[in-house]
A and B are shown apart, each in its own frame.
Chain A
Amino acid sequence: QLQLQESGSGLVKPSQTLSLTCAVSGGSISSGGYSWSWIRQPPGKGLEWIGYIYHSGSTYYNPSLKSRVTISVDRSKNQFSLKLSSVTAADTAVYYCARVDPRRTIDYWGQGTLVTVSS
């Protein structure tokens, strides 16, 4: 059974960079046809798709966040990461990592981690 687990700082100061890692177990991050995504959900609000990294390493980011987002993969550790720069209070959210299957729907989610932006 595939499992995804987010980790990283739960508190980030404004203007700094948010960094999260998603460890994948029970399967390989290099499996063909899959992509690995980050999604966030501000408290009490809806889901916002941040971006993904394909198994080949190509990336796509939400245009609304593109200038601040980097998603990367570490195949040796079977994990992928999110960096979001110049954060503000509006970036406070539960951040989920997820696997996107070949038909491009989300079949596995991490449990989510709350990141608060505050001084």
Chain B
Amino acid sequence: DIQMTQSPSSLSASVGDRVTITCRASQGISNYLAWYQQKPGKVPKLLIYAASTLQSGVPSRFSGSGSGTDFTLTISSLQPEDVATYYCQKYNSAPFTFGQGTRLEIK
């Protein structure tokens, strides 16, 4: 099965910073990659699908890129409400494996 590896596992940044999270698949998955945001105590929320398509209602400071095995989630200007854990998930074929998560905090 394809494994999904995120880096870093945790990240601390200042408000206004540009933040990048990486997700790597152990085999190519084309662009079948989604990013979810899970705020503390909340249900995960879809941010990006097809590696780079922003879900409706998601702020434009979020963006995604990549194809094949290497993907990134970028927050162009970090806001306090972005404190959360971010997960990538592959969905080219089952099992729809998640990455282990990246915990983002404000410095």
Interface residues of A (CB under 8 A from B): 37, 46-49, 52, 60, 62-63, 96, 100, 103-107, 109-112
Judged by a CB distance under 8 angstroms, whether B49 is at the interface is yes
Across the interface, do B96 and A104 meet the contact criterion of CB distance under 8 Å?
yes
The count of residues in chain B whose C-beta lies closer than 8 Å to any C-beta of chain A is 22
Judged by a CB distance under 8 angstroms, whether B46 is at the interface is yes
Interface residues of B (CB under 8 A from A): 1, 32, 34, 36, 38, 43-44, 46, 49-50, 85, 87, 89, 91, 94-101
Q: A47-B87, A103-B50, A106-B36 are in contact. Are A63 and B44 (CB under 8 A)?
A: no
- Apart from A47-B44, A47-B101, A106-B36, what 8 extra A-B contacts exist at CB < 8 Å? A47-B87, A48-B98, A49-B89, A49-B96, A96-B43, A104-B32, A104-B91, A105-B46
CB-CB under 8 A from B32, the residues of chain A are 104
Across the interface, do A46 and B94 meet the contact criterion of CB distance under 8 Å?
no
Across the interface, do B1 and A63 meet the contact criterion of CB distance under 8 Å?
yes
Q: How many A-B residue pairs have CB under 8 A?
A: 51
CB-CB under 8 A from A48, the residues of chain B are 98
Q: A104-B91, A105-B91 are in contact. Are A49 and B97 (CB under 8 A)?
A: yes
CB contact between A106 and one of B44, B85, B97, B99 (< 8 Å): that residue: B44
The smallest beta-carbon distance between A8 and chain B, in angstroms, is: 18
A sample of 10 inter-chain contacts (CB < 8 A) reads A47-B44, A47-B87, A47-B89, A49-B95, A96-B43, A103-B91, A105-B34, A105-B91, A109-B43, A111-B43
